[in-house]
Amino acid sequence: MQGRYGWSDEQVLALTPARLRQLRSVILAERREEHTLQVTLAERMTRELVAHVRAAAGDKGAAKAAAKVSFLSARRATPGPKQLPSTEAVIRRFGMAPPSGG
């Protein structure tokens, strides 16, 4: 939490256990979304590579074969990138004072 949002030890230690759990949930959700975005990017790059390699080898079905490449299961795939909350939005949500610049 401190590294991600720049909060001091005092700010983190002042949080109630319920607030810590809420913040943990937000951070874990952000990490899952970041992971999904990275995997989606790798998947797209791999599809392009598969399409080009198979097309170079003369495979007429290269585009269809490349479209089948998937790193995420259908139940976990997200429809598109989601905007992550800003530090200020998280601070407002959890009722904390902004970190001091020191």
* Residue 99: inside a domain: no
Q: pTM for the complete prediction?
A: 0.53
Segment (H or E) for 79: none
* Residue 102: inside a domain: no
Instruction: Give the mean model confidence (pLDDT) for residues 69-97.
Output: 67
* Residue 28: inside a domain: yes
Provide the number of structural domains found in the chain: 1
**Domain ranges, residue 15:** 2-94
What is the distance between the alpha carbons of residues 102 and 89, in angstroms, rounded to a whole number?
A: 21
* Residue 61: inside a domain: yes
* Residue 84: inside a domain: yes
* Residue 100: inside a domain: no
Upper half-sphere CA count for residue 72 (Cβ side, 13 Å): 19
* Residue 101: inside a domain: no
Per-residue pLDDT band for 102 (boundaries 50, 70, 90) equals very low
Per-residue pLDDT band for 75 (boundaries 50, 70, 90) equals very low
Q: What is the dihedral of CA 39, 7, 85, 94, to 10 degrees?
A: 130
* Residue 49: inside a domain: yes
